[in-house]
Amino acid sequence: GQVHGRIPPGGDRLRWTIIPVLFAALLPADSTAVAEIPRRNPTGALVRSAVLPGWGQFYNREPLKGLAYGSLQAGLLGWTLYENHAANHARDMFLATGDPAWDQDRENHRDTCRSLVWYTAGAWVLSMFDAYVDAWLFGFEQENENFDRNAGLGLMVGIGL
C-alpha cells in the first residue's frame, strides 16, 4: 500500500506515545471511610461576636480566643468608663474651684476616653471578623484529612499507531 505523509525512521514500526497525567481520585473507593465534616455558620458566628465579644469564638470551638477577645473588650470598656468618670470628676472640680489644672486634667481624660472608644470599636470589629473567618475555616483540617486519605495518583498511557 501507499503511505501518505512522512514515514518516521524505522519504517512501519508502531509509534508509542506515553503521556503522564497526574490526577486526584475525588470519590473514595469506600464511602464509609469519609468522616463527617463539621460546619459552622459564618453569619451566626459574626452575630454572636457582635452581641457578646468572644461568643463567636466559643461557637467556633476556640475558647482561648473567646476568653482573649472577651477579656480585651471588658478591659477596654472598663478603662473607657474609668476615663469618662475621671473626666466628669475633673470637670466638677474645675467648676467648684476654678483651677485651670482641673480643666487640663478633664481635657486629658476626655482625649484618652475618645481614643479608647475607637480602640474598643476596633477590637469589637476584629472579634466579629475573626469569628466569621474561623467559621468559614471550621472543619478545614478534617476536610484535608479526608482528601489525603482518599486521593490517589495515576498514570495514563496512550498508544498511537
pLDDT 10s digits, 34-76: 567 778 899 999 999 999 999 999 999 999 999 999 999 999 9
C-alpha–C-alpha distance, residues 151 and 129, integer Å: 33
Q: Which residues contact 159 (CB under 8 A, 6 or more apart)?
A: 14, 16, 17
Do 151 and 34 touch, CB atoms closer than 8 A?
no
Full DSSP string of 125-152: HHHHHHHHHHHHHTTHHHHHHHHHHH--
C-alpha–C-alpha distance, residues 71 and 124, integer Å: 11
The band of 148, judged by pLDDT with boundaries at 50, 70 and 90, is low
Q: Tell me: the pLDDT tens digits for 5-28?
A: 555 555 544 444 444 433 343 444
